[in-house]
């Protein structure tokens, strides 16, 4: 969780870097995304630095409010995303920075089939993208 979005943005802007990213999906982000409420401010800031936007808050959390049961209480926000939703969000963000992102990122699981990391590939420029994506696709299937 040490790589800030600004670093990924800078790499993408060079148009000369192909990137393998080992994203801390289960060992990082999913642990910070509490189920019953949004994460504390310090955790939220860390996620925002990793993903480069606060859009994740609206994407990952939904407001559960029933007007007939409101009684003047604040609406409750709860997590409405699993690790696949976080993966999709990250790949979409990468696609905005790099020329092409391989759609088949690989979720690396532990022995109990819980997600640990997301291994994804992003290509920096058009010229080498076709062979790079082919190679990445092969490696992501192994």
pLDDT at 65: 65
Three-state SS for the chain is CCCCHHHHHHHHHCCCCCEEEEECHHHHHHHHCCCCCCCCHHHHHHHHHHHCCCHHHHHHEEEECCHHHCCCCCCEEEECCCHHHHHHHHHHHHHCCCCEECCCCEEEECCCCCEEEEEEEEECCCCCHHHHHHHHHHHHHC
Of the two residues 1 and 95, the one the predictor is more confident about is 95
pLDDT tens, residue by residue, 45-65 = 999 999 999 999 999 999 876
Per-residue pLDDT averaged across 99-117, rounded?
97
Its pTM stands at 0.90
Q: What pLDDT score does 75 carry?
A: 74
Residue 60's contacts (CB-CB under 8 Å, 6 or more residues apart) are 33, 79, 80, 81, 85, 86, 89
- pLDDT: is 91 or 142 the higher one? 91
pLDDT at 66 over 80: no
- For residue 135, is pLDDT > 60? yes
Query: Is the per-residue pLDDT at 73 higher than 70?
Result: no
Cβ atoms of 64 and 88 closer than 8 Å: no
Q: What percent of the chain has pLDDT over 90?
A: 88
């Amino acid at each position: 969780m040490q790589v800030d979005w600004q670093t990924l943005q800078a790499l993408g802007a060079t148009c000369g870097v192909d990137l393998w990213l080992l994203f801390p999906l289960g060992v990082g982000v999913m642990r910070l995304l509490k189920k019953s409420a949004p994460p504390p401010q310090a955790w939220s800031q860390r996620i925002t630095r990793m993903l480069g936007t606060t859009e994740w808050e609206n994407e990952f959390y939904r407001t559960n409010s029933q007007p007939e049961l409101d009684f003047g209480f604040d609406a409750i926000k709860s997590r409405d995303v699993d690790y696949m939703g976080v993966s999709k969000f990250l790949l979409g963000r990468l696609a905005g920075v790099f020329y092409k992102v391989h759609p088949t990122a690989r979720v690396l699981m532990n022995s109990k089939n819980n997600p640990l990391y997301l291994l994804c590939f992003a290509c920096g420029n058009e010229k080498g993208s076709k062979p790079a994506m082919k190679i990445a696709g092969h490696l992501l299937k192994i």
